[in-house]
Structures are given as structure tokens and as C-alpha cells.
Chains A and B, each alone.
Chain A
Amino acid sequence: MSNWLAELTAVFVKDLRAEFRTKVSLNAVGLFALTTLAAVSYTIGPYRIAEADRPFLLGALLWIVIFFASMAGLDRSFVKEEETHTAALLRLAAHPLVVWAGKLLFNLVLLIVLMAILVPLYCVLMGYRVESPWWFLAVLATGGYTLAVTTTMVAAIIARAMSRGALFSVLSLPLLLPLLIFVIQGTTAASQGEVDGVLSTLRAVISLGGIMTVLSVFLFPVVWND
């Protein structure tokens, strides 16, 4: 039992260490997010949006930045294995689900780091006032998890295809659009303190995340062992 935990940690730490050495994903994701934030803040800023529209529009913009920043770097952990030709070794060394969990964890950490930096900056620069910060965090957390689990699966699929970067976005976005709609709704509700709205969003996002997790457990080994 503890063996798979050790393996999982090994996969995760390996990816983490490799990432800290080169910082490819971190740079891509971070720079994308910050550049977009700067652009949005400069062009729109805290004053251009009418008060009534702010909860919704600011929530929508935030999630759009998060999504596209994810597209810039969340496929890295799989693509890197293929590029450095370590994938075959990994297939021999670890159980597929361990690999999946390790890489999911890596993507989650990447996303958490992204959100930790982006969200406060965004709220400050855009003047985004959030009435219920804890519910806001809940939406971010559940939405982030579902985003990570979905993109991990897609990254595994595209790792051995051509035109990987573009394909990652093309395949991910349709799968992520229901999530996008839900979390924007939830963020809007959280910023206005509407607990009912947040709860219905959380229900939807958690069920989406749960379904994606279950599917990944079944389908990842199929893709990985191909």
C-alpha cells in the first residue's frame, strides 16, 4: 500500500525538481498570466466597467486569464517525457495510475502557484471586490481541481501527437467550457455574497470534477500504455 504512495511521491518530486531546474512551465504560465493581467488592467482597469457589471465581467475575465495561462503550460509534464525520451522508462518503472496521480499533483501545484500569485494581483489591479472571500476560494479550489484533472488527461492524449501545443488548446477548451460557465457564475455569486448561487455552482463543478476523475482512472492507463 505504502509502495504506491512512495512511487507517486517519486514521480511528483521528479517532475517538480525538473521544473525548478528549467522553470519552463512556470515561466510560460506565469508570464502569460502576468502579461495578460497587465494588458487587461491597463486597457480596462478598475474604473471602466460599470458598477452593475463588475461582479460578472471581472469574474469572467479572471477565469479566462486562468484558463489561457493553463493552456500555456499544463501539458508540459507529459510532453517533456516524450521529448526527453524518458516516457518508456517511466512506463516500465511505475504503475500507470501512479504516474497519473503524480502528474496530476504536479499540475495542481502549478495551478495553485498560478492562482496564488494571479488572483490577489488581479483583485487589486482591477478593483475586484469580493463579498464572500471563503466561497470565492471554494470556487477557485474546486474549479482549479477540475481544470487540472481535465487538462492532465488531455495532456496525456496529445503527448504523442503532432502539433502538440495547438492541439492541447483545441482539445482542452471544448471539455473545459461547461466548467468555465459554471465557475464564472460561481465567482460572480461569491463576489456578490449570494451563497445559493455559489452552492449550485459548487455542486456542478464537484460533479464535473468527480466524473473527470473517475474517467481518468479508467482511461489514463489506456492512453499511457498505448
Chain B
Amino acid sequence: MRLNDALKWGLLVWMAVVIWAAFQWAPSAVGFQGESARIVFFHVPTAWVATLAFLVSCVASILYLWRRDPMNDVRAASSAALGLLFALLATVTGSIFARIMWGSYWNWDPRETSITFLLLIYAAYFALRAAVADPERRATLAAVYAILAFVTVPFLVFVVPRIWWSLHPDTIINKQGTIKMDSRMFQVLMGSLIGFTGLFVWLYTIECRIERIRQRRQQELL
């Protein structure tokens, strides 16, 4: 418990420092409208967490199908719920940036398309869960769908944007494979990435614990 608490307070401090650094320490990015580039410190990590959450969901799904431990279904659903939240945040922050930078909220730029499809996959996953009454069948079908959906994500996220010309700034993942970002900005971005990942892990564990309590209560009632 001590270590857990320390980690949580550590996260508070870490993210506070990241926020400060994002607006005060990192330099203004050249070529972007005003200070709008600073949104990248929040936009990129949320998109990253949305994909990470989906990966966790998929792994939990595979484990569920393998061992049939109901806890893994809980893990898959919890991670998916958080993934959906972060995907929404990524879409919104990206849209705000697009408005500032290019004047319109939405352009169906390949990356914008990819995040929309990630949202659609999450929505489909929960639609499926809602449509199946029996808990074990629900867990199985949801797990299968999560795996199928996860396979399409690499195509959406990596292949499609490469093929099409993109409005998306090419500062990190680009054809040359180099990092075209100021070093301070990069450090803040990495720090933010770690912080958001930590936040996700914390929220995820809470979600799982709540669900376990709920299931334990249901068992006790029976």
C-alpha cells in the first residue's frame, strides 16, 4: 500500500511538472499558429493511451479465451471503456488543433480517419456486449471481436497514413525515421506520455477493482 500511495502522489507531481513544462519550459514551435503546437503534449499521449488501452483489451481477451478466467473479461471491458474515453479526448484535442491550424474542425485527414475508426471499433465492441445476455457468451464473443478488431488497427494506424498525403505534422513518425522535434519539446512529450500512461494504469486498476467488487456482491446474493 505504501508504494502504491507513493506512486500516486508521484503521478500528481509528475503531471504538474509536465503541465508547467508544456506551457512554460518548452519553446514555441516554429511554423505553427501561435502557441497552438503545445496541445501536442496532451493530444499525442491521449491517442497513444487509446491505442495502448486497446492493446491491453486485446491481450486480456486472448487470455480470457485461453483460460476462461472471468477476471480477464473484466479487464478487457475496463480497458476498452477507458480506451474509448481517451480516444474521444484524442479526437477532441486533435480537432481543436485542426481548427486553430487549418481553420476547420474536421478534414478526414488519414489520422483523423484512423481515430474515428478506433472510436467506431470501441463503440461496436460495447454494442456487442450490450446485445448478449449470457455473461459467458458475452465474454467470449466480445473477446473474439476485440481480437479481430485489434488486427485491423495496425493497418489503420500505420499503413493508411503512409499511403495518403497527410495534413498531420510529420515530426515524429516520418519516412526518414528521424525525430524532427526540438529536444525540449521531445522531453516534455515523453514526460507527458509517461504521465498519461501512469494515469491510465491507475484508472484501469480502479475500474477492475470496482468490477470485481460488483461481481463478488452478485455472487454473495446468489
Contacts and interface: CB of A to CB of B under 8 A. Distances in A.
Contacts of B89: none
Given A153-B148, A178-B156, A219-B148, A226 B137 contact: yes
Tell me the interface secondary structure of chain A in the complex: helix
Interface stretch (B5-13, B93-101, B117-125, B170-178): B117-125
Given A178-B160, A181-B160, A212 B131 contact: no
A174 B163 contact: no
Given A161-B141, A200-B163, A219 B147 contact: yes
A204 interface: yes
A31 B65 CA distance: 39
B152 A175 contact: yes
B145 interface: yes
Interface string B59-80: 0000001000000000000000
Nearest to B140: A226
A211 interface: yes
B75 to A, nearest CB: 18
Contacts of B137: 160, 226
Contacts of B120: 173-174, 177
Interface of A: 150, 153-154, 157-158, 160-163, 167, 170-171, 173-175, 177-178, 181, 185, 200, 204, 208, 211-212, 215, 219, 222-223, 226
Interface of B: 65, 113, 117, 120-121, 123-124, 127-128, 131-133, 136-137, 140-141, 144-145, 147-149, 151-152, 155-156, 159-160, 163
Given A150-B148, A171-B145, A177-B152, 14 more contacts: A158-B128, A162-B131, A167-B127, A171-B124, A174-B117, A174-B121, A174-B152, A175-B152, A178-B155, A178-B159, A208-B155, A211-B151, A219-B147, A223-B140
